[in-house]
């Protein structure tokens, strides 16, 4: 138990404190400008009286601290310890995927724009973020109409005998074949960067000036090109609604409901909102500390850090956070709480988005609860199936056999607990034996997987269900519901020339006839969605292994080519087809491949192609 005397011995310096439970588990990690004052606020007479805080403090048995030199170091250490311990009462952004961005490296010979996830401090220019790869590619599609930049890696394009189709569509200037000078291409790339940064008005003025200069010099084709560019950009300006005259910034809105905080992030670039994102996380402490923890975790990942952050509430460590974010961005970052004007209106808009996201989440939770309750009732399950796992097998005649296991929590995918299995003990096409191996490995006593689910679903009929119940009985796992879901199949009527699809069928242990749920009902759709996800996960892994096996055998069968050289060849050329099209001199440029080996690889590859062609012709003659 933590005593007042222990807290009084804490230093009055910046640092991080760790609250541990009775078993030593870290319950909460916090940072402080003054460790003694901050920790004392939890245990003193004037401590926070909220129920959540009381519940947390009742479980704390020990408080440790780590002193840091500055508040910024405390922020960094807090983030590190949270990732290490994943405390229950800290903020955990379960969706760790970042948004997509566009990247252009102006130091390249002919800069190219690519869609990426990770933002690095590598000197390149990044634009975005965008909600999805499709949204980013939609921006690129519009951009290429205005600025015909190259689409593919330069080495790939130069291996072609003529420019690609995008050149014919006037969406690429073909720098790979010398159809544009390096200086003119650099001007196009700079114009594209200004366009993506939202500086379209500046771009229009630049192009108008260049158009006038070209016209005075009687370079009328060049002047016409700048005229067309200017008109196209002005059209896009008319379509876009500028929400503010602010620069690039991220706007944060929050909404509190019970023990949860909902965050809404608005991404403002060039005065326009280009996207948004919401998070809903459990949080028991005050809102200001929640915002600080959210910002530290969100911007601690590989995401774009804007020059300004607009917040709805003031946070205690605004100065250290500005310093830390400025360091991550490589430029100054301002953190402010606007009270009037356009910036305050943007914050209000973000708050309304957070409120709406919280309401939508509650509605979805209620709907998911109702579906699970109906599923429990129709299948006579012993408890509400909050955690459902599903297993499937994928193979071709027993080759490259794999199994998959997917997990759903409260009707939503729990991808952190997806697992895939390579079949080790079954050498022939035996789906039942493969399913037994997968289930035995999943529920083995020494596995580090979470506890058993409320419901297990297997893809198939009574045979697969019998395998599942046998494994559960062998491992003495009781209280777990088990079902199998058989796909609908095509049924042809004997009396009439009529073809129809049968219903999806659910089989239960000890029951011969299936349970037929109403087609398109919510419980059946949920089971089918889980089954289809397991099938997708299994077949994706199977195709990956099958492709690797084919490529590995095709290359490593060549004399003098091992796994290392095979990987180097594939990295350089990208595919077997491009390797076959390459000349021996090109193959010799790969690291570890000399001229003699390159000649041998080229000869062997083309001998194989010739033998396959002869075999094909012989087969046709025999037919």
Residue linked to tokens 């500028």? 242
In order, the DSSP letters of 217-260 are TT-HHHHHHHHHHHHHHHHHHHHS----S--SEEEEEEEEETTE
The span from the CA of 174 to the CA of 154, in Å, is 10
Q: For 177, which DSSP code?
A: G
What does CATH list as the number for 557-622? 1.10.150.20
φ, ψ (nearest 5 deg) of residue 579: -65, -40
Tokens of 610: 């010739």
Contact 542, 395 (CB under 8 A): yes
Q: How far is CA 110 from the centre of its chain?
A: 29
Please tell me if the domain spanning 387-532 has the same topology as the one spanning 557-622. Answer: no
pLDDT value of residue 286: 80
Domain boundaries, the chain: 4-85, 100-239, 249-359, 387-532, 557-622
Closest Cα to residue 275, out of 286, 267, 284, 264?
A: 267
pLDDT value of residue 273: 77
pLDDT value of residue 91: 79
pLDDT value of residue 240: 46
As averages over each run of 10 residues, the pLDDT of the chain (623 residues) reads 78 90 87 87 62 72 88 86 84 66 87 84 81 75 82 81 85 88 87 77 76 84 77 56 66 89 88 81 83 87 87 85 87 90 89 90 88 91 91 80 90 88 81 85 73 87 87 85 79 57 80 82 90 90 73 64 77 77 85 84 68 42 42
Which residues have CB under 8 Å from 350's CB, separation 6+?
251, 252, 253, 264, 265, 266, 310, 312
The architecture that CATH gives domain 249-359 is 2-Layer Sandwich (3.30)
pTM listed for this prediction: 0.62
pLDDT value of residue 64: 87
Please name every residue paired with 220 in a beta bridge, in sequence order, or none if there are none. none
The architecture that CATH gives domain 387-532 is 2-Layer Sandwich (3.30)
What does CATH list as the number for 4-85? 3.40.1440.10
In order, the DSSP letters of 446-511 are T--SPSPPSEEEEESSHHHHHHHHHHHHHTT--S-EEEEEEPP-EEE-SSSS-EEEPPPEEE-TT-
Tokens of 249: 């910034």
DSSP element (H, E) containing 271: none
Tokens of 254: 């929050």
């Amino acid at each position: 138990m933590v005593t007042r005397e222990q807290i009084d011995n804490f230093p009055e310096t910046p640092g991080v404190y760790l609250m541990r439970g009775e078993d030593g588990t870290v319950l909460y990690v916090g940072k402080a400008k003054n460790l003694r004052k901050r920790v004392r606020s939890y245990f003193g007479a004037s401590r926070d009286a909220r129920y959540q805080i009381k519940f947390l403090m009742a479980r704390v048995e020990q408080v440790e601290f780590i002193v840091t030199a500055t508040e910024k170091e405390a922020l960094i250490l807090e983030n590190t310890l949270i990732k290490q311990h994943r405390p229950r009462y800290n903020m955990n952004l379960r969706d760790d995927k970042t948004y997509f961005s566009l990247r252009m490296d102006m130091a390249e010979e002919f800069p190219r724009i690519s869609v990426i996830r990770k933002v690095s401090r590598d000197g390149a220019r990044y634009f975005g973020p965008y909600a999805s790869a499709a949204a980013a590619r939609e921006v690129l599609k519009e951009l290429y109409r205005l600025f015909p930049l190259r689409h593919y890696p330069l080495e790939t394009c130069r291996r072609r005998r003529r420019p690609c189709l995008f050149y014919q569509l006037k969406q690429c200037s073909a720098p790979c074949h010398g159809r544009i000078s390096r200086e003119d291409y650099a001007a196009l790339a700079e114009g594209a960067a200004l366009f993506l940064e939202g500086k379209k008005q500046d771009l229009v003025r630049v192009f108008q000036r260049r158009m006038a200069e070209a016209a005075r010099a009687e370079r009328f084709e060049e002047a016409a090109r700048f005229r067309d560019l200017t008109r196209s950009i002005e059209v896009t300006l008319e379509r876009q609604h500028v929400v503010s005259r602010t620069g690039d910034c991220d706007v944060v809105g929050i909404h509190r409901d019970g023990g949860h905080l909902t965050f809404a992030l608005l991404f403002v670039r060039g005065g326009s909102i280009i996207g948004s994102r919401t998070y809903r996380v459990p949080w028991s402490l005050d809102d200001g500390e929640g915002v600080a923890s959210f910002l530290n975790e969100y911007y601690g990942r590989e995401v774009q850090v804007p020059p300004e952050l607009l917040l709805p509430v003031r946070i205690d460590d605004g100065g250290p956070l500005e310093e830390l974010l400025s360091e991550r961005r490589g430029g100054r970052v301002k953190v402010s709480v606007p009270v009037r004007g356009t910036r305050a209106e943007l914050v209000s808009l973000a708050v309304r988005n957070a409120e709406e996201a919280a309401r939508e989440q509650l509605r979805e939770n209620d709907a998911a609860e109702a579906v699970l309750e109906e599923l429990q009732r129709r299948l006579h399950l012993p408890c509400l199936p909050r955690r459902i796992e599903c297993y499937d097998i994928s193979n071709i005649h027993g080759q490259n056999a794999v199994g998959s296991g997917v997990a759903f929590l409260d009707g939503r995918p729990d991808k952190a607990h997806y697992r895939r299995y390579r079949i080790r003990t079954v050498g022939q096409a035996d789906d039942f034996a493969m399913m037994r191996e997968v289930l035995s490995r999943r529920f083995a006593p020494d596995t580090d997987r979470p506890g058993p689910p409320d419901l297990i679903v297997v893809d198939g009929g009574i045979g697969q269900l019998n395998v599942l119940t046998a494994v559960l009985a062998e491992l003495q796992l009781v209280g777990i519901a088990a079902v199998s879901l058989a796909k609908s199949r095509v049924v042809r009527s004997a009396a009439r020339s009529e073809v129809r699809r049968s219903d999806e069928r659910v089989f239960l242990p000890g029951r011969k006839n299936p349970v037929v749920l109403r087609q398109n009902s919510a419980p059946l759709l949920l089971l089918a969605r889980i089954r289809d996800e397991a099938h997708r996960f299994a077949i994706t892994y199977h195709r990956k292994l099958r492709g690797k096996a084919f490529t590995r055998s095709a290359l490593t069968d060549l004399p003098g080519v091992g796994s290392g050289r095979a990987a180097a060849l594939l990295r350089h050329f990208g595919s077997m087809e491009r390797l076959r099209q390459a000349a021996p001199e090109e193959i010799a440029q790969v690291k570890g491949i000399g001229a003699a080996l390159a000649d041998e690889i080229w000869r062997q590859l083309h001998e194989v192609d010739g033998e396959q062609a002869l075999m094909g012709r012989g087969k046709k003659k025999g037919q």
